[in-house]
Amino acid sequence: MDKLNMGKHISNKFNEELEAVRNRVLSMGGLVEQQLSDALTAIQTADVELAEKVLTNDHKINKLEVQIDEECVHIIAKRQPAASDLRLVIAIIKTIADLERIGDEAERIAKVAKESFSNDQQQLLVSLENLGHQILIMLRKVLDAFARMDLDSAYEVHRQDEQADRQYEALTRQLMTYMMEDSRSIPKIMNVLWSARSLERMGDRCQNIAEYIIFFVKGKDVRHVSPESIERTVKGDRTS
């Protein structure tokens, strides 16, 4: 909590507003995490009912994004935050946008889970599940990092995206080979390919959230910079 500078404002109401909106982000993150977990389970078990549940629940994520966005606008207009408080509000606004998009990608995966696959094609879903597990771990870690505004955990998630990208590339090659060997499988395999692409995008979104955490803690924008520059920012003077 010290990193969030809670308790340092003249207005206790301001503290409560910041804490409430931060907690709402974590609630939204928990729902997104559950959506992804359910979508992956639906594919693994061919559970159409669970896939439908994911599709039905997507509106809850959208509603939370709008509510949190409105709360942040209210804080900016009423409190005119500066320094770390302003960075926190900005980080929250950006984070919920990425969480909403992760929810959208989970919805796309749930739609694929409603498709039927042959026994041979089911084997290809194993690789998809492996990538999905990696992305789910990244999402959980970055949400935990956000809860604690943990710089080191955020940096770890940021680095893990490279591993997820390699898994995605390997899976893409595997799926392309399968389609060339059996042209009749192309429509089904394309659905798997789009699901893999959705997972890869989720990894990018998790990396974005990690960057917002670094921005809040260090006060430096690390988007579109080299990995070496990010490492220097994270491992530099921790008192900045």
Supply the pLDDT for residue 92.
Answer: 97
Quote the Cα angle for 69-71-72, to 5°: 65
Contact 157, 129 (CB under 8 A): no
Q: How many CB atoms lie within 10 A of CB 79?
A: 17
Contact 108, 237 (CB under 8 A): no
Q: Looking at per-residue confidence, does 121 or 111 come out higher?
A: 111
Supply the pLDDT for residue 240.
Answer: 40
Contact 188, 115 (CB under 8 A): yes
The pTM of this model reads 0.90
pLDDT band at 239 (very low <50, low <70, confident <90, very high): very low
Domains delineated in the chain: 2-235 (1.20.58.220)
Three-class SS of residue 42? helix
Which is nearest to 133 in space by CA: 100, 171, 180, 95? Answer: 171
Contact 232, 218 (CB under 8 A): no
- pLDDT value at 1 more than 60: no
**Model confidence pLDDT, tens digit, residues 226-235:** 988 998 999 8
